[in-house]
Amino acid sequence: MTELVLPQHGNVLGTAFGGTVLAWIDVCGAIAAQRHSNTVAVTAAIDQVHFLAPIKVGDVVVLSARLNAAFRSSMEVEVEVKVEDTTTGHRRRCVDAFMTFVSIDGDGNTSPVPALIAESSDDERRARAAADRRAARLASKR
């Protein structure tokens, strides 16, 4: 997903409002979750967001999402935000986020999601880390 940071997205410092970037992250993550589940997916939690570098008005922002884990009806999606220099193609990482989405059926109830098959040791590591974040999130609700 690509966005151009326009003046209305910026604050008095000429950088993007964090809330605007979060909205883009939410949309990008939801699309990834919906593609995996083939259902509507709603945001259940934003587990971590790390703003690593400023995003300036006029920047081209590239967002990418990947599923880290699929549970019964929920999925963890990692979204990475980079600023692209359109003259060189170089991309600089600016934001990382981990979010949980829940699959919803036509009646508004949670719906099972397909398993996510790990294809590499990195996929397995990401799935374990996602399970740890999920356990911590669920424990904090008690």
Kindly give the parts of the chain with pLDDT less than 70: none
**In whole angstroms, how far apart are CA 108 and each of 5, 20, 87, 140?**
34, 27, 46, 25
In which domain, by residue range, is 108 found? 2-140
- Number of domains the chain is built from: 1
Whichever domain contains 97, its CATH number is 3.10.129.10
CB-CB neighbours of 62 under 10 Å: 16
Nearest alpha-carbon partner for 82 in 63, 108, 105, 67: 63
Amino acid residing at 105 = D
Over residues 83-98, the pLDDT tens digits come to: 999 999 999 999 999 9
Count the residues in the chain.
142
| pLDDT at site 98 | 98
